[in-house]
């Protein structure tokens, strides 16, 4: 499909609290590698910085990131750009007034270095301050609490609510939650977005949350929408049904997956990430791709089968 002169505005807008963003944003997780801890997979610093600047030129005003996303420079002690947030700062500061940067806190590592361990509530302030330092901000636009294995998020979310009251955070969101945890968080402070896994071929376990967000006017922000069952491996999962639809539209499989994601509701925000400038343009152009009712129905059914 044609990609020239298509900007992120083509897919429409939604709100994150009092901020309006284009529904196609940019995810920093894949910024410099195929996987979140693949430290040497991507190209040079200048190219990645160029991708970030080009994204903003193309109308992206919502960037999803985290202070714990390392970059290819992590293995280079002399580098001052060891983390994705530092690349974002170098590329985009001073930040455009309409740019919303969403970050997340919660994951840490244990004594063995194993990630996907939830830090204590009293450690969240340190993670917020690290995001502020790396991004060069005096406040954070949106902070998602990414939880692991909790039944009650009250203590952790309460700690973030205190930082919001202190002016370090403007809006709060939640990530990787179960349905009952949204109401749990909302009893403590307003929630502007939910970020959970969701995509073609990735099951429908979060349909309930997606519907609830739509009913409440909250943004639903899928992760792994392109990688699907590939998850941390990155890339776009090939599938015969997706490939057939892509060929019929002269599109890429990634564009089909992004178009399906956006079709799930006007409150759904897409955050495809890449360090490839050509893929960036293609991802943004996916906002103009209109799948037929039959194609959407076929993809809906496929997600129940995989």
Just list the catalytic residues.
69
Are 267 and 218 contacting, i.e. CB atoms less than 8 angstroms apart?
Answer: yes
Rounded to whole angstroms, how far apart are CA atoms 280 and 6?
11
Q: What value, to the nearest 5°, has the Cα angle with vertex 68 and ends 233 and 111?
A: 95
Counted residue by residue, the chain has a size of 306
Q: Report the candidate in 235, 220, 232 with the shortest Cα–Cα distance to residue 270.
A: 220
Token digits of residue 207? 């349909």
Rounded to whole angstroms, how far apart are CA atoms 61 and 98?
6
Look up residue 194 and give its DSSP letter.
E
Are 70 and 37 contacting, i.e. CB atoms less than 8 angstroms apart?
Answer: yes
Residue 13 backbone zone (phi > 0: left; psi -120 to 50: alpha; other: beta): beta
């Amino acid at each position: 499909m044609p990609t020239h002169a298509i900007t992120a505005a083509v897919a429409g807008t939604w709100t994150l609290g009092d901020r309006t963003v284009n529904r196609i944003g940019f995810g920093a997780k894949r910024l410099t590698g195929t996987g979140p801890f693949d430290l040497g997979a991507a190209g040079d610093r200048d190219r990645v910085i160029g991708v970030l600047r080009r994204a903003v030129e193309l109308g992206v005003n919502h960037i999803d990131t985290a202070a714990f996303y390392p970059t290819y420079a992590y293995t280079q002690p002399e580098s001052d750009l060891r983390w994705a947030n530092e690349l974002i700062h170098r590329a985009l500061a001073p930040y455009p007034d309409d740019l919303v940067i969403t970050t997340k806190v919660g994951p840490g590592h244990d004594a063995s270095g194993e990630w996907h361990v939830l830090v204590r509530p009293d450690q969240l302030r340190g993670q917020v301050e690290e995001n502020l330092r790396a991004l060069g901000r005096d406040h954070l636009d949106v902070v998602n609490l990414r939880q692991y294995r909790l039944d009650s998020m009250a203590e952790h979310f309460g700690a973030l609510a205190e930082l919001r009251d202190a002016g370090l955070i403007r809006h709060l969101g939640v990530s990787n939650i179960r349905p009952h945890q949204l109401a749990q968080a909302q009893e403590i402070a307003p929630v502007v977005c939910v970020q959970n896994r969701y995509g073609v071929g990735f099951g429908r376990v979060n349909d309930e949350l997606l519907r609830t967000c739509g009913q409440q006017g909250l943004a639903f922000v899928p992760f792994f929408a392109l990688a699907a069952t590939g998850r941390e491996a990155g890339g776009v999962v090939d599938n015969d049904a997706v490939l057939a639809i892509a060929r019929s539209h002269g599109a890429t499989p990634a564009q089909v997956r992004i178009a399906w994601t956006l079709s799930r509701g006007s409150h759904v925000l897409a955050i495809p990430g890449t360090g490839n400038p050509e893929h960036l343009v293609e991802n943004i152009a996916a906002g103009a791709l209109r799948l037929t009712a039959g194609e959407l129905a076929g993809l809906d059914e496929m997600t129940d089968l995989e």
